[in-house]
Amino acid sequence: MESALKKAIEEAVSSAKERKFNESLEISFTIKDVDLKNPANRIQEEVRLPSGRGRDVKIAMFAGGEMATKAEAAGLEIIDPTTIEDLGGNRQKARKLANSMDFFLSEIPHMGTVGRFLGIVLGPRGKMPRPVPPNLDPGMMAAGLRNTTIIRSRDRVTFHAAFGTRDQSIEDLTGNVLAVWNRVVGKLERGSMNIRSCYIKTSMGPSVKVEVLS
């Protein structure tokens, strides 16, 4: 599959118009013969991309005191835990925050409050915060997330994931997309036989079909 994925990336990049911003590369899957009404069959994976995402990843943390100081030093955006309830009461502001961040972290004592007041906004977006134990440097956890992409099918047969940006090399993009492909195929009962179609595209470019080898 590596050569088929590489060929699709090359075609997607060459056929896309030049943009004034660094476009993301995305892979989309349409699966078949999988009962997604059963939550156990849904794809919900975090994949560490070997060559990174190719862009800055925005991470925020619900933290105070010393943990907030550590998180700020690591380049994370700090959300004061005393503002969680107010955020929950302003749905528009909460949605804006959720959409502006790629990931959220939280000190363990604040997880329940976040779930109570912001779960309705963060949950459906797959952005509930990851708990940070008191003895762990949040910068270490953030470092791993900066190279991570999320694959979520929910109950839909078609889903997609970003695997890099246009300014990365074809070789780096191929390694990244292969990691995503292998994870998805590995979660399907019949592997690639459960994939109806697969496409690769830049953010605003045309879709290129990947030849799926069953």
Domains (range + CATH), the chain: 2-54+147-209 (3.30.190.20), 59-145 (3.40.50.790)
Pairing of strands 103-107, 130-132: parallel
H helix intervals, 133-202:
138-145, 170-187
Q: pTM of the prediction?
A: 0.83
Residue 137 makes CB contacts below 8 A (sequence gap 6+) with 70, 74
CA distance 206 to 62: 39
Residue 192: strand, helix, or coil: helix
Residue 214: predicted pLDDT: 63
Q: What is the mean pLDDT of each run of 10 residues along the chain (214 residues)?
A: 95 90 94 94 93 92 95 95 94 94 95 95 92 93 91 93 95 97 95 96 95 79
C-alpha pair distances (Å), 174 with each of 4, 156, 167, 177, 196: 10, 26, 13, 5, 21
DSSP letters of 57-70? --EEEE--HHHHHH
Query: CA 175: distance to chain centroid?
Result: 17
Task: Give the chain's end-to-end CA distance (angstroms, integer).
Answer: 10
* pLDDT number for residue 176: 97
